[in-house]
Amino acid sequence: MRTANKVAAVTILFWLMKIVATTLGETLGDFISMTLNLGYTKGILITLFFFILILSIQLGVKKYIPAVYWLVIIGTTTLGTEISDFIDRTLKAGYLVGSLILLAGLLTSLFLWYKKYGNLEVYPIMERNKEFYYWTAILFSNSLGTAFGDFLSDNLGLGYLTGACITGLIILIVILLHYFTKINHVVLFWIAFVFTRPFGATFGDLLTKPLAKGGLDLGTINASLVSLVLMVLMVIISQKKHTRELS
């Protein structure tokens, strides 16, 4: 049993950090599999190792530590990128089938979570077993978001900027539903969590892909470094905010 909360509170800063983390996960995942030419199988193994390592640290600490927590989030977004691309390009299942597979995984994890605890509240989380359900659902949702974002930009031919605008509009609608309707906030959270992933993924693709494909051609290294700097700055802000709340 836990006696202290282990996860981030859902605030505006949370969502900003989530979007930057997803962008970083997309560009970093592409850097590993494509820029380094390691392929998606090796990419999954590398990112899975990092994810398991940092998740073990997160599960072992006794309280919420922003730097550790957000490293796990980045781990899920990077691994999610590799999983989505592996399903599409190595297994050749396609982004639509991949999205459906990952959606089934997300719904299954949420169902098992709800069956165990009778709710899907994401804050606070103090119990180790519940935290495991939490991270499982996040991994599936980030993988799903990657596949769905690629489905919008590649399969539907919407382009990276258009795909980012569409997913951004969906996020805006979810925000409005949160403030102006009585729709369950947990349902809205998971919808927003899924769609911030394709928003970050398509934005990451916009930064890295060649001009001929509708991107800005910054490259995976430059885009990853920009996202990493932003992420570090926001983690510092989050840590200072968390310290003030505890004092």
pLDDT in tens, 97-153: 888 999 999 999 999 999 999 999 999 999 999 999 999 999 999 888 878 777 877
The tens digit of pLDDT for each residue in 177-189 reads 988 898 888 889 9
- Per the listing, tokens 């981030």 go with 8
Q: Where are the alpha helices (DSSP H) in 86-219?
A: 95-117, 128-150, 160-180, 185-208
224 close to 24: Cβ distance less than 8 angstroms:
yes
Cα(115)–Cα(56) distance, rounded to whole angstroms? Answer: 25
> Residue 33's closest CA among 52, 53, 47?
47
pLDDT tens digits, 62-71: 999 999 999 9
CA count, 13 A, side-chain hemisphere, 153: 27
pLDDT (0 to 100) of residue 209? 73
Predicted confidence at residue 203, as pLDDT, reads 72
Q: How far apart are the first and last CA of the chain?
A: 24
The predicted pLDDT at position 220 comes to: 78
> For residue 46, what are the contacts with CB-CB under 8 A and spacing of at least 6?
32, 38
Got the DSSP string for 54-112? Answer: HHHHHHHSSS--HHHHHHHHHHHHHHHHHHHHIIIIIS---HHHHHHHHHHHHHHHHHH
Q: How would residue 74 be classed by pLDDT, with cut points 50, 70 and 90?
A: very high
